[in-house]
Copies of this chain bind each other. A is one copy, B any other.
Amino acid sequence: MQYQCMQLIKEREKMEINGVDIKDTFAEAFGIQVSRLLITAATKKLAKVAAVEATGYGTSVIGCPAEAGIDCYVPPEETPDGRPGYVVMICNMDKKKLDHELLERVGMCVLTAATTAVFDALENPDEKLETGRKMKFYGDGYEKQMEVDGRTIHSIPLMSGDFLMEHDLGIKSGVAGGNFFIMAENQPAGLLAADAAVDAIKAVPGVITPFPGGIVSSGSKVGSNKYKFMGASTNEKMCVTLKEDVEGCEIPENVNGVYEIVIDGVDEEAVKAAMKAGIEAAVKVKGVIQISAGNFGGNLGKYKLNLQDLF
């Protein structure tokens, strides 16, 4: 069966970067509603504390109430209030759910965090959600409207000072589930390559890698063969410890470590730039053998992002 795996690979078109095989396949990605906000605070560390709390429990909308993550750090001289900040992205397929998530994630995890403020950071929005307008009612009449850097801002008095938040937050139709697989000699090689990929992707604006540390160690298939009540289950053809046990294994014979990088972005271009940067970083790590990607045959998702077309 493993021999068969290798055959399949040999039949495809060959592309190599740094000696690593780039499989002739595509990532299948989906439409999602994306918001992008800037959280500033008195210090970089305080801004990060809020950004991390607000984007936790946000790996995939399959089980989490949102997909969320940190996009990038913004130094003080480039933010509306001249303080250091982090841009985060919070996403959901459903606009109403996204509205709810923005209100709760900002209200419970940013407003409550020390010295923070929130500004819209989405370019070219399709529309605006009035998260700030709704948040201001928390001020119970003591809130004030002001302008900061040309933006309409609500200042809400809190115990420790005033929380500033922009009136509305842009949302737009973005892309979820851009991805690639790192197929490596062993688990540590896959992991180091995944870390390197995530570092490279952090430098691409407009994207997040919503899984823990940006890395996915599990791969799912739709449904389950054995347990009919399960909507999804492990993709046994991609499991390194099942190589000898399942038919149709999709892991090359010399691969014993597989990690996936999943990318959400403001648009297809951003996701493709992130995939490219991530793959170029991953192939530099010793022990990486192949880069592949995940799809469902191309019938489920709106976007087909071919790996070889990235280069």
Q: Name A residues whose Cβ lies closer than 8 Å to a Cβ of B.
A: 42-46, 49-50, 52-60, 62-65, 68, 75-77, 82-84, 103-105, 107-116, 137-142, 156-163, 181, 184-196, 199-200, 202-203, 211-213, 215-219, 224-227, 229-230, 232-236, 238-242, 245-246, 256-260, 277, 280-281, 284-287
- The distance in angstroms between the C-alpha atoms of A286 and B259, with both chains bound, is 15
What is the distance, in angstroms, from A53's C-beta to the closest C-beta of chain B?
Answer: 4
Nearest chain-B residue to A54 (Cβ)? B57
Q: Is the CB of A140 within 8 A of B234?
A: yes
Interface contact A57-B57, CB-CB below 8 Å: yes
Do B159 and A260 touch (CB < 8 A)? yes
Apart from the given pairs A188-B192, A188-B287, 14 other A-B contacts in the complex at a CB distance below 8 Å: A42-B196, A49-B212, A52-B56, A53-B57, A53-B59, A54-B57, A57-B104, A137-B224, A141-B226, A142-B234, A142-B246, A157-B242, A161-B257, A186-B186
Identical copies of this chain, number: 4
A40 to B114, CA, bound (A): 24
User: 24 A-B pairs, CB-CB below 8 angstroms?
Assistant: A42-B192, A42-B285, A43-B199, A46-B213, A52-B212, A54-B57, A56-B109, A63-B104, A75-B199, A115-B191, A139-B233, A140-B225, A142-B242, A156-B234, A160-B190, A160-B218, A160-B240, A161-B187, A163-B218, A187-B189, A187-B287, A188-B188, A189-B287, A257-B286
Contacts of A108 in B (CB 8 A): 57, 59-60, 62-64
> Which residues of B sit under 8 angstroms from A233, Cβ to Cβ?
137-140
Question: Can you name the residue of chain B whose Cβ is closest to the Cβ of A144?
Answer: B241
